[in-house]
């Protein structure tokens, strides 16, 4: 990482913002997060009172509170693209050689990665299957073909499974890598990167 935000990182952040803004109203709010959890749980047939559904809803609230606390600079309950980029740009501009990865960002990343893994690993056995990943993609409006193609790229040992720690690494790579070839870049769907 450098002290500058690369174009690739900027493109990825803008892509991620659009992805998280599920209802497409131009801001990220709690409703966007809630909708994804509802879609995932409905697809899995988990009723409102299902143990894992309740767990996900709780984790989702925690994630939202953390995100709102760090990213919603004016505290109006919505994260705008400007707020989103400002937080990440500031975090990326801390020189990791001197200060290590920015503490706010590394905390946010860990919580975010953990949450996505909880959503992906439906039975909590520490493994994510292709089906889990396709379902997750559907909730974020990523096409099944793209999800399947990406999964096969990620599944480097071809056993049809991603371990949760592999998934966490891919998610962190998505946020942090400046390498255009990094696998994690397509974890949240293929996006057009124009150099
Ligand atoms: Ca929204
Ligand atoms: Ca705001
Ligand atoms: Ca699993
Ligand atoms: Ca594997």
Segment 14-30 mean pLDDT: 95
Spacing, Cα 91 to ligand 1 middle (Å): 23
Ligand with minimal distance to 163 CA: 4
Contact 34, 60 (CB under 8 A): yes
Q: Domains along the chain?
A: 7-179 (1.10.238.10)
Looking at residue 191, what is its pLDDT? 74
* Ligand in nearest proximity to the CA of 161: 4
pLDDT at 40 over 50: yes
pTM equals 0.86
pLDDT in tens, 143-185: 999 999 999 999 999 999 999 999 999 999 998 888 999 999 9
pLDDT tens digits, one per residue of 63-97: 899 889 989 999 999 999 999 999 888 887 765 55
Return all residues near 57 (Cβ < 8 A) that are at least 6 apart.
Answer: 34, 37
Q: What is the distance in A from the centroid of ligand 2 to the CA of 123?
A: 35
């Amino acid at each position: 990482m450098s002290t500058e935000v690369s174009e690739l990182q900027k493109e990825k952040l803008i892509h991620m913002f659009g992805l998280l803004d599920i209802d497409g109203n131009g801001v990220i709010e709690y409703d966007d997060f809630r909708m994804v959890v509802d879609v995932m749980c409905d697809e899995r047939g988990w009723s409102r009172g299902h143990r894992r559904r309740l767990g996900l809803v709780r984790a989702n609230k925690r994630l939202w509170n953390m995100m709102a606390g760090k990213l919603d600079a004016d505290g109006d309950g919505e994260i705008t693209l400007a707020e989103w980029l400002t937080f990440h740009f500031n975090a990326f501009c801390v020189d990791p050689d001197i200060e290590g990865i920015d503490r706010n960002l590394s905390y946010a990343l860990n919580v975010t990665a953990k949450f996505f893994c909880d959503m992906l690993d439906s039975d909590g056995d520490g493994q994510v299957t292709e089906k889990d990943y396709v379902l997750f993609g559907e909730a974020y409006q990523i096409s099944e073909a793209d999800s399947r193609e990406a999964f096969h790229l990620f599944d480097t040992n071809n056993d049809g499974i991603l371990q949760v720690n592999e998934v966490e690494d891919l998610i962190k790579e998505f946020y942090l890598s400046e390498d255009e070839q990094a696998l994690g870049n397509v974890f949240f769907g293929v996006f057009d990167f124009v150099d």
